[in-house]
Amino acid sequence: MLFRTITKENFRKMVEALMENNEVIGPKWRDRDTEGNKIYRFLKLNTFDELQMDYTRSYSSPKNYFLPFKEDLSTYRLEDKDWEQEIHYTIHPRVIIGMRACDINALLKLDQVLVKSAYPNPHYVARRRNTLIIGLDHEPLEDCFCRSMNSDTAFHGFDLFLTDIGEKYFVAINSDTGYMIVNRFDAREVAEDDQRRYKEVKGRIETKFKTQVDVTIVPELMDLEFESDVWKKWGDKCLSCGSCAMVCPTCYCYGIEEHTNLTFTKATKRRVLYSCNLLDFATVAGGHNFRPEAHIRLKYRYYHQFRGFVEAFNQSLCVGCNRCGKACLAGISPKVVIDDLIETEKR
Amino acid sequence: MKYLGITLERPKIGVFSFTGCEGCQLQIANKEETLKDLFGVVEVVNFREISSEGRDDYEIAFVEGSITTESESARVKKIRKQAGTLVAIGACACLGGVNNLKSRFSLPDVVKEVYGTHPIDTGPVRKVKDVVRVDIELPGCPISKPEFEWLVRHLILGIEPQFLQYSVCVECKQRLNSCVFDMGMMCLGPITRAGCNAVCPRNRLGCWGCRGPAEEANFESLMEILRERGFSEEHIAERMNFFNAFGGIL
Ligand code: SF4
Ligand code: SF4
Ligand code: SF4
Ligand code: SF4
Ligand code: SF4
């Protein structure tokens, strides 16, 4: 990895230059919560000033820019008995600014399934290749447990990664494209003073991890507590609303729909993201539902995140962003559920 | 009309209005870009909103509005007899809808307040399915045109339509809306059937449940959440009863 610094003024110029030929996505805000805090979300930026480099939390992850909630996989032109299929993998080149380490690690996990598996997902691959990622450090929020999930630092999976050190950004460079871009905006070698300030910032971040989830024994615990009352307790509260999986940076379950137009001359095959918490997701042809109970569905979401993925890839799927916990009106979060399981196991 | 080499029948349809605002009918008649296509795939034989000609040889009847008078009851029974498939469209037809407000007071009081001493044929508000057998319910206040067209395609192909079972929250999150609860407002999205693309939360309004309950909706949990968040019983009741979507849970 190479390191440089770039002044904030030059960073602005860089972003504005990127906006000329790319779709640039970053944290923006529109609404405020009841306490007056801004509610941020990753959206397309039209001007540099819309970009909120001091954003705290984005309620939804930027996953949808790689794995859209709804995506047309192919379209068909229907003619008498024949059809003609059209598939487009290309997207307009994109830049995402402000992704956190956890979100970058989440993409690396999705890559395991969607790029490195026996059947790569070409639409995802195209979006991954055509997206430049500029990460951004931050002080963890009170409920972030990314450190417990080993996802608080990103070593790869980005082009540039920024740390705010005052008038400048300290820039970690991880790709040729990233290197070429910062160099066009007068990136400088790291001076001794920059390095000192970088260490200070990192040191401060270090002290801010508040929430811990003990996941070392979780895969085993999940099996031991398969029949635990804990699932019923939280499952009875669960609204089966799917909000958790929608905002989650790693949930990737989907369904496939086929539609025709009104005159039956064109058709579309569409992928729609789903959640294992949703009743529909376990309904199969003929109407049978093999997971009709909410607490079983809830359990399986946790199983996939904390056990199934470990078995397949030696790591949890969850990166500890707690977006699911924040989105859940019923107060269900990995922290409370896992703590509860551990508590029960002790008894 | 052909689909993959198979010839499809162009069904004869009728659209009928009962007690409601006619907004659902209007949904069918507007959206000019696809109106020509719609009339290409179905033959409209009875639809007052667009033509004064009215024939009684329809195969599919779309019924809008709730049933509130004796004459309406007789008319919908006649429609049921003729139609092979009867589709209730919109919150009024499926749930009783806003009209149901009337059922919360005594009928003589309501009549006196609205019509004075003028004689009037009016009764309690009934869902279409409380009067005749309904084959399909297309929810919403008003119905959504894309969903109506989706249903028409299914009817032509003879495929049973599978409505979304999950709740509005899924679509709301997919549109990256801010949750209105975070902004201090009430929302019935978690227990209401999706399909409207979360238009109300999109516009920073809570959901009022016009599409009726989601399948297996967890009312108890949402009630608990609403109370914990400090919404008053009166406020909750007003919201839950608005479209008569959640009858019996309060
Ligand atoms: S865990 Fe929470 S967010 Fe997820 S489906 Fe259940 S109620 Fe919704
Ligand atoms: S946790 Fe559930 S929704 Fe998320 S990816 Fe796994 S199975 Fe799918
Ligand atoms: S499961 Fe929850 S905490 Fe874990 S990555 Fe998904 S949203 Fe974040
Ligand atoms: S605004 Fe309503 S529909 Fe949207 S996520 Fe919140 S509760 Fe669900
Ligand atoms: S958000 Fe709720 S009230 Fe609004 S259209 Fe959808 S179902 Fe109806």
Residue of A60, A239, A260 lying closest to B221 (CB–CB): A239
CA distance A274 to B173: 12
CB contact under 8 A, B221 and A236: yes
Task: Report the domain count for chain B.
Answer: 2
CB contact under 8 A, B221 and A238: yes
Helix (H) or strand (E) holding B45: strand B43-47
**Residue B28 φ/ψ, nearest 5 degrees:** -70, -40
- Chain A contact present for B153, CB below 8 A: yes
Shared-domain flag, residues B23 and B73: yes
CA distance B165 to A305: 24
CB contact under 8 A, B218 and A240: yes
Shared-domain flag, residues B145 and B91: yes
Residue A77 lies in a domain: no
- Encode pLDDT of B14-25 as tens digits: 999 999 999 999
Return the pLDDT at B95: 96
Work out the pLDDT band at A345, boundaries 50, 70, 90.
Answer: confident
β pairing state of A131-136 and A94-99 = parallel
Shared-domain flag, residues B150 and B31: yes
Of the residues A207, A239, A268, the one at which a domain ends: A207
Structural domain boundaries, residue B213:
168-241
What DSSP state is assigned to residue A307?
I
More confident residue, B1 or B218: B218
Q: Is the shortest distance between the CB of A275 and ligand 2 below 6 Å?
A: yes
**Mean pLDDT over the full length of chain A:** 95
- Encode pLDDT of B131-169 as tens digits: 999 999 999 999 999 999 999 999 999 999 999 999 999
ipTM score for this prediction? 0.95
What DSSP state is assigned to residue A103?
H
CB contact under 8 A, A239 and B167: yes
CA distance A4 to A194: 9
DSSP B161-180: -----SBHHHHHHHTTPPPG
- Check which CATH number belongs to the domain holding B73 and give it: 3.40.50.700
Residue A213 lies in a domain: no
Q: What is the dihedral of CA A298, A304, A306, A309, to 10 degrees?
A: 180
Work out the pLDDT band at A270, boundaries 50, 70, 90.
Answer: very high
Return the pLDDT at B248: 62
- Encode pLDDT of A165-185 as tens digits: 999 999 999 999 999 999 999
Shared-domain flag, residues A320 and A223: yes
**Residue A181 φ/ψ, nearest 5 degrees:** -65, -50
Return the pLDDT at A22: 97
- Chain A contact present for B176, CB below 8 A: yes
CA distance A182 to A187: 6
Shared-domain flag, residues B109 and B201: no
With a CB-CB cutoff of 8 Å, which residues 66-95 of chain B face chain A? none
Task: Report the domain count for chain A.
Answer: 2
- CB < 8 Å to B182, chain A: 31, 33-34, 39, 59
Residue of A31, A60, A259 lying closest to B173 (CB–CB): A60
Identify the three-state secondary structure at position A211. Answer: coil
Shared-domain flag, residues B185 and B219: yes
With a CB-CB cutoff of 8 Å, which residues 214-243 of chain B face chain A? 214-218, 220-222, 224-225
**Mean pLDDT over the full length of chain B:** 94
CA distance B170 to chain A (A): 6
In sequence order, the 6+-apart residues with CB closer than 8 A to the CB of A271 are A70, A71, A73, A123, A254, A255, A256, A257
Shared-domain flag, residues A30 and A101: yes
CB contact under 8 A, B166 and A31: no
Shared-domain flag, residues B181 and B146: no
Structural domain boundaries, residue A302:
218-346
Q: Where are the alpha helices (DSSP H) in chain A?
A: 8-21, 101-114, 122-129, 176-184, 192-206, 218-224, 229-237, 243-247, 294-303, 309-313, 323-327, 334-346
Q: Give pTM, 2 decimals.
A: 0.95
Return the pLDDT at B249: 64
Percent of chain A past pLDDT 90, that is, above it, reads 88
Distance B194 CA to ligand 5 centre (A): 8
- Chain A contact present for B110, CB below 8 A: no
